[in-house]
Homo-oligomer: A and B are copies of this chain.
Amino acid sequence: MTHRPGRHFLQLPGPTNVPDRILRAIDRATIDHRGSEFGELGSECLQGLQSVFQTQNPVIIYPSSATGAWEAALVNTLNAGDRVLAFETGYFAGLWAKMATNLGLRVDLIPGDWRHGVDAARVAEALARDREHEIKAVMVVHNETSTGVTTNIPAVRRAIDEAKHPALLLVDTVSSLGSIDYRHDEWGVDVAIGGSQKGMMLPPGLAFNAISARAIEASKSSALPKSYWRWSEMLANNSNGFFPYTPATNLLYGLREAIHMLEAEGWPRVFARHAQLAEATRCAVRQWNLEMVALDPSEYSNVVTALFVPEGFDEKALRALILDRFNMSLGAGLGKLAGRAFRIGHLGDFNELMLAGTLAGVEMGLALAGIPHRKGGVDAALQYLTGQA
């Protein structure tokens, strides 16, 4: 292992910097997953996640990546050949849609420019056209990790309701959960998909489904083949904190610690912190005079900011230089943004000085890479953070 002095800045939009308290919680002897000590752990995690998702309904925990929870959302609620409505808001939205196709669903993919969230008017139109109610689910990504663009979920919900359409609302909250306000019950979402390695500050390896009563109802008539992802056995076992198959015990230790930490800070403060650090990031971006991928300020993400590099420059080279010189990992441009845009993650266990270091790394990288920009980005962020912007 090469030694780079000082702390690595892991400024991806996930995995995020895992705080020591969580790493140390994970570094504990594994226990019997059928014993009473485990039952308490499991119950604490399951109940804690209800407060994270702001739901009274059950939350499912999978030992898997968040990708698995995407699959779980689909295979538990749908049937072969069902139509689903999806939106090309970015790389991950596209992957999820492709997965739906792989699983035998028919996907109506509404094209998009990767710079906007889902337009509720388009939802309304699509559902209005669907007189036969063939569309069984609407798939929306709350925070598109590849672009730094959010979607207004309540607006999508209203569109569905106003269309009086019975489609389920499935929402990917992978990179918003724990960082941006997400209200499962209030917003009427049927299945939400979450993961451990973003706002929840854990290593990857756990994924979640928050579900509604309607989703559970739908699962009873869903005939897509499934076993690992099947909710029914999960729910039966979860009632006293256990799982139908061996859970990822050590990551659950970390999840319990994460929930304690977030609750100690208090959700309003957690969300306000992310909002403030994101706005400070954008202050730097404006000063640099670089172009953000997100176009609509009402859709700016509070967890990740994606930036174009000017024509003639390659974001890969910039990121490689920053990693080599300043020991910081930034998010790659994904899909059609590869080479053209990079991403600054500013979520999870993050604070003002970590942000200052992050922005300094970007600004020095721009300078060394010879990318045209206006200096003073870090300065602009600091002015904002001290209320002088």
Question: Which of A's residues lie within 8 Å of B, judged by CB?
Answer: 1-10, 12, 14-20, 23-24, 26-35, 37, 62-68, 70-71, 75, 80, 99, 102-104, 195, 197, 203-205, 224-228, 230, 245-251, 261, 264-265, 270, 273, 323, 325-329, 332, 349-354, 356-361, 363-364, 367-368, 375-376, 378-379, 382-383, 385-386, 388
Choice from B35, B329, B383 contacting A35 with Cβ under 8 Å: B329
Say whether, besides A71-B228, A227-B71, A329-B35, A352 and B364 are in contact (CB < 8 Å).
Answer: yes
Whether A354 pairs with B357 at a CB distance below 8 angstroms is yes
Say whether, besides A3-B261, A23-B27, A249 and B15 are in contact (CB < 8 Å).
Answer: yes
- In the complex, chain B residues whose CB is within 8 Å of the CB of A248: 65, 203-205, 248, 251
Report the copy number of this chain in the oligomer. 4
How long is the Cα–Cα vector from A7 to B22 in the complex, in angstroms?
A: 12
How long is the Cα–Cα vector from A20 to B22 in the complex, in angstroms?
A: 13
Say whether, besides A35-B323, A67-B246, A227 and B103 are in contact (CB < 8 Å).
Answer: yes
- In the complex, chain B residues whose CB is within 8 Å of the CB of A195: 246
- In the complex, chain B residues whose CB is within 8 Å of the CB of A28: 20, 23-24
Please provide the 4 A-B residue pairs with the shortest distance between their CB atoms, ordered closest to farther.
Answer: A6-B351, A356-B360, A353-B357, A27-B27
* Chain B: minimal CB distance from A304 (Å): 14
Whether A356 pairs with B357 at a CB distance below 8 angstroms is yes
Whether A203 pairs with B20 at a CB distance below 8 angstroms is no
Choice from B249, B361, B382 contacting A352 with Cβ under 8 Å: B361
| 25 pairs from A and B in contact (CB 8 Å cutoff) | A3-B261, A5-B273, A7-B353, A7-B354, A12-B32, A14-B246, A23-B27, A24-B28, A30-B197, A30-B203, A31-B329, A33-B204, A63-B68, A65-B246, A67-B227, A67-B245, A71-B228, A99-B227, A102-B226, A102-B230, A197-B246, A205-B248, A325-B352, A356-B361, A360-B382
Whether A350 pairs with B6 at a CB distance below 8 angstroms is yes
How long is the Cα–Cα vector from A327 to B281 in the complex, in angstroms?
A: 19
Q: Closest chain B residue to A6 by CB distance? A: B351
Whether B15 pairs with A33 at a CB distance below 8 angstroms is yes
How long is the Cα–Cα vector from A37 to B332 in the complex, in angstroms?
A: 15
Known: A63-B68, A368-B386. 6 other contacts (CB 8 A): A14-B246, A23-B29, A24-B27, A75-B225, A248-B251, A353-B357
Q: Closest chain B residue to A223 by CB distance? A: B104
- In the complex, chain B residues whose CB is within 8 Å of the CB of A227: 67, 70-71, 99, 102-103
